[in-house]
């Protein structure tokens, strides 16, 4: 029996960090200081059959008159024969530190999924031995510090791995060397009355993919419209844009243009996202961009 693909946790590429904060770091829970719901979709290597696709639903909020933030995260992944959906609860304990807050986050949940069978005719299926459904628990943790103009975070979204023994049983294991790490940082600086710049960086690392560095800069107009670009060390230029339709509703788009490795044969990866905030205060109408 081959190991279920969901058991080997790898760093997922994100291009539009602002809409995927909770997916990357449980300490992000409640950091917008309001109830927030986000939906995002990423299609990678468009045109390749079985190419990765990700759908993420997140909901998080601070708890009034406490130091706690709570979040719910649903992540659906499709890659070739692998179909996987994770359901996770997130908790953040937030401490006042200087001009901002330091959040300590924990994440716990389960990953459920299965492999699809491919019918070759005459009742002949390939990957037939891998078609059992599976339900695998996992955990994560993170740190996140943020102010009105700066943020930095470090997280390990999944700490458990899984492998199959000689009897075909899937068993959990823990190995520091196989963690997938995310390190994020960014700052917003005013350059004119209605304009700000937002340099940001993301470092991703896991043993299988190695280190991936992503850095870029965005230009914000009245905190309503943002356009920017970044470079990914694995060989991609990324264009991003988001627009705040109202104080509560924001939409975003990202396009990856690759030029190394597999990207030479298919360069397009796309992310689309939407975020709705169920209330705002004057000082929170411009929430910190992750």
Whether the pLDDT of residue 60 is over 60: the answer is: yes
What is the reported pLDDT for 3? 41
| Separation between Cα atoms, residue 193 and residue 4, nearest integer Å | 53
Sign of CA dihedral 115, 116, 118, 122: positive
What is the reported pLDDT for 171? 67
List pLDDT tens digits, range 199-209: 999 999 988 77
For the record, the structure tokens of 200 come out as: 């940001």
Number of H helices, E strands in the chain: 1, 19
**Strand runs labelled E in 116-180:** 118-119, 125-126, 134-146, 150-156, 161-164, 170-173
The torsion defined by the Cα of 170, 173, 178 and 181, in degrees rounded to 10, comes to 100
Q: Which of 44, 51, 40 is nearest to 16 (CA)?
A: 40
Could you identify the residue written with the tokens 């995310």?
A: 182
What average pLDDT does the chain have? 82
What is the reported pLDDT for 115? 52
What is the reported pLDDT for 46? 74
Name the more confident of 11 and 99: 99
Least-confidence region, from 14-23, 156-165, 242-251: 156-165
Whether the pLDDT of residue 262 is over 90: the answer is: no
Q: Which of 176, 213, 199 is nearest to 13 (CA)?
A: 213
Whether the pLDDT of residue 19 is over 80: the answer is: yes
Mean pLDDT to the nearest integer, 108-115: 80
Least-confidence region, from 85-94, 98-107, 139-148, 159-168: 159-168
Q: What is the share, in percent, of the chain residues with pLDDT greater than 90?
A: 52
Name the more confident of 68 and 161: 68
Whether the pLDDT of residue 128 is over 90: the answer is: no
List pLDDT tens digits, range 135-183: 889 999 999 999 999 999 999 998 887 765 665 556 677 787 888 899 9
Mean pLDDT to the nearest integer, 179-201: 94
Architecture of the domain delimited by 5-284: Beta Barrel (2.40)
Q: Which of 213, 138, 139 is nearest to 183 (CA)?
A: 213
Domain chopping of the chain, boundaries? 5-284
Q: Which of 201, 228, 203 is nearest to 215 (CA)?
A: 201
Question: At 234, is the pLDDT very low, low, confident or very high (cuts 50, 70, 90)?
Answer: confident
What is the reported pLDDT for 173? 76
* Residue 198 near residue 289, CB atoms below 8 Å: yes
Name the more confident of 265 and 239: 239
């Amino acid at each position: 029996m081959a190991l279920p693909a969901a058991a080997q946790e790898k760093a997922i590429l994100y291009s539009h960090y602002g809409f995927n904060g909770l997916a990357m770091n449980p300490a992000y829970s409640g950091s917008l200081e309001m109830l927030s719901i986000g939906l995002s979709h990423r299609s990678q290597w468009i045109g390749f059959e079985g190419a990765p696709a990700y759908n993420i639903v997140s909901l998080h909020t601070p708890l009034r008159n406490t130091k706690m933030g709570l979040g719910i995260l649903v992540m659906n992944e499709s890659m070739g024969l692998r179909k996987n959906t994770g359901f996770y609860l997130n908790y953040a304990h937030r401490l006042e530190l200087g001009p901002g807050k330091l959040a300590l986050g924990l994440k716990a949940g389960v990953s459920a999924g299965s492999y699809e069978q491919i019918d070759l005719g005459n009742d002949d299926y390939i990957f037939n031995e891998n078609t059992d459904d599976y339900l695998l628990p996992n955990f994560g943790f993170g740190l996140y510090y943020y102010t009105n103009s700066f943020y930095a975070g470090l997280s390990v979204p999944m700490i458990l791995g899984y492998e199959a023994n000689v009897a075909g049983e899937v068993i959990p294991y823990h190995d520091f060397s196989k963690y997938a790490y995310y390190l994020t940082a960014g700052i917003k600086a005013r350059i004119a009355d209605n304009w700000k710049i937002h340099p940001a960086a993301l470092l991703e690392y896991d043993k299988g993919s190695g280190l991936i560095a992503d850095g870029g800069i965005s230009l914000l107009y009245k905190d309503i419209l943002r356009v920017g670009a970044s470079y990914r060390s694995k060989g991609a230029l990324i264009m991003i844009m988001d627009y705040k339709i109202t104080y509560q509703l924001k939409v975003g788009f990202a396009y990856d243009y690759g030029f190394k490795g597999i990207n030479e044969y298919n360069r397009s990866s796309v992310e689309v996202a939407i975020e709705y905030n169920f209330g705002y205060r004057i000082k929170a109408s411009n929430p910190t961009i992750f």
